[in-house]
Amino acid sequence: MERTTCCVVGGGPAGMMLGLLLARAGVDVTVLEKHGDFLRDFRGDTVHPTTLDLLDDLGLAERFAALPQSRVTEVALPDEHGGVQRVGNFDLLTKVGVRHPYVALVPQWDLLDLLADAARSEPGFHLRMDTRATSMIRENGRVVGVRYRTTTGEHEHTDGEIRADLTVACDGRHSVLRDGSGLPVTEFDVPFDTWWFRLPRHAHETEATLVPKIGNGRFAVVIPREGYFQIGYLAPKGIDARLRARGLEAFRTDVAELIPEFADRVEALESMDDVKHLDVHLNRLRRWHVDGLLCIGDAAHAMSPIGGVGINLAIQDAVATAALLAAPLQRGTVTADDLARVRNRRRIPTMLVQGLQRIMHANIAGPALAGELDGPPAPLIRLMRRVPALQIVPAYLVGVGFRPQRAPDFARRTPASTG
């Protein structure tokens, strides 16, 4: 019978970070990842200042710096004169001691590969790719492990079981383990879905500003990436089939009208297959655990793409989980009260961020898509123009957030000791 101390289901940012941290605490940890690699398009690629600080503390800063990346140093909104007004200035974060005053944009697969490589140097870390958790194993009302299926060929697989003192669901917003746990979920209305695609970025386009586009019942976010622009196109929820039925030319026209400066490159979209649909959800569990099982990251709280904070909240969950549970796992004495402490540590930051996202949905995204708003709220633009020092507030809320977590002492390394 296979056994581990902690079984982490899902090799995304929360799962890989948790696996690394627990392994550095000397805990035997097994991560199950259903895919054969980390190559997924349009996953959360934003790495915020708090996560950059964490990578520093883990001794991974140099490895991270070597990854292909771009940086966002400010957020601007269209103004009434056809220009833009900066509303978030990350450079100001240096005034409050932030070491990395920017958001790094890095392909998520590169970040996950980095974490996996660092974790493999720990003797207690085990990563099982192509392995999907199919259900929980319960005994006497307690979760004691998972059943899994490992793909071994195009039409071949093997089934197995792995027992664990603790199972942590990091398998995202469609979590199999969460759904099987019976934990109640609170859902919040979201007025939109998001369609992601890429357009070319010319060599002279070196700006590091994130600028939303609003007009004619449309809304988009233009994210500067290394060698291309990543576009998040927002439209009312439930219209994916209709949008695709209208065809590629109609979609190109919509994009060119909303973002006129990109009219010369919409031909780069060769088919609607280049446009990836994200069914946006905003929800959270009322309780994050049952005996023997803990949910974190998107499995505990699915986030809106507004602000790009999902990956960083998930990583913060992982840090809190490792800090609070490493010692009980080492002793073999993890209790339901221990698991409840993770939610208690992370509940308020989650609620506050989701509250801000709901305000943005109700006051900007929703009205923009209903054709009731052709630009950002004028009072906000005027305020940021008159009092530029306030531009630190959005930068802090997005980049640092509420109750940021620091790496526990047992996980800290200097670059020299990471090899």
Sign of CA dihedral 377, 381, 382, 388: positive
Query: In the CATH scheme, what is the homologous superfamily, with its name and number, of domain 2-188+281-418?
Result: FAD/NAD(P)-binding domain (3.50.50.60)
Rounded Cα gap, residues 173 and 298, in angstroms = 5
Q: What does the block give as tokens for 270?
A: 């060769």
> Could you tell me whether strands 74-78 and 84-89 are parallel, antiparallel, or unpaired per DSSP bridges?
antiparallel
pLDDT at position 217? 85
SS3 of 383-417 = HHHHCHHHHHHHHHHHHCCCCCCCCCHHHCCCHHH
Shortest CA distance to 286 belongs to which of 301, 265, 276?
A: 301
Write out pLDDT tens, residues 287-331.
999 999 999 999 999 999 988 888 999 999 999 999 999 999 999
Contact between 272 and 146 under an 8 Å Cβ cutoff? The reply is no
Shortest CA distance to 194 belongs to which of 249, 157, 231, 143?
A: 231
271-275: average pLDDT? 95
329-341: average pLDDT? 96
Q: Is the pLDDT of residue 42 over 80?
A: no
Q: Is the pLDDT of residue 417 over 60?
A: no
- Mean of all residue pLDDT scores within the chain: 92
Residue showing tokens 């005994």? 139
Question: Which of 373 and 407 is assigned the larger pLDDT?
Answer: 407
3-7: average pLDDT? 98
Rounded Cα gap, residues 75 and 84, in angstroms = 10
Q: Is the pLDDT of residue 3 over 90?
A: yes
- pLDDT band of residue 415 (cuts 50, 70, 90) is low
- pLDDT band of residue 77 (cuts 50, 70, 90) is confident
Contact between 67 and 201 under an 8 Å Cβ cutoff? The reply is no
For a pLDDT cut of 70, what percent of the chain falls above it?
97
Write out pLDDT tens, residues 111-121.
999 999 999 99
- pLDDT band of residue 370 (cuts 50, 70, 90) is confident
Write out pLDDT tens, residues 222-270.
888 888 999 999 999 989 999 999 999 999 999 999 999 999 999 999 9
- pLDDT band of residue 88 (cuts 50, 70, 90) is very high
199-223: average pLDDT? 85
Question: Which of 132 and 207 is assigned the larger pLDDT?
Answer: 132
Of the listed ranges 23-27, 35-39, 237-241, 318-322, the least confidently predicted one is: 35-39
- pLDDT band of residue 212 (cuts 50, 70, 90) is confident
pLDDT at position 218? 86
pLDDT at position 416? 46
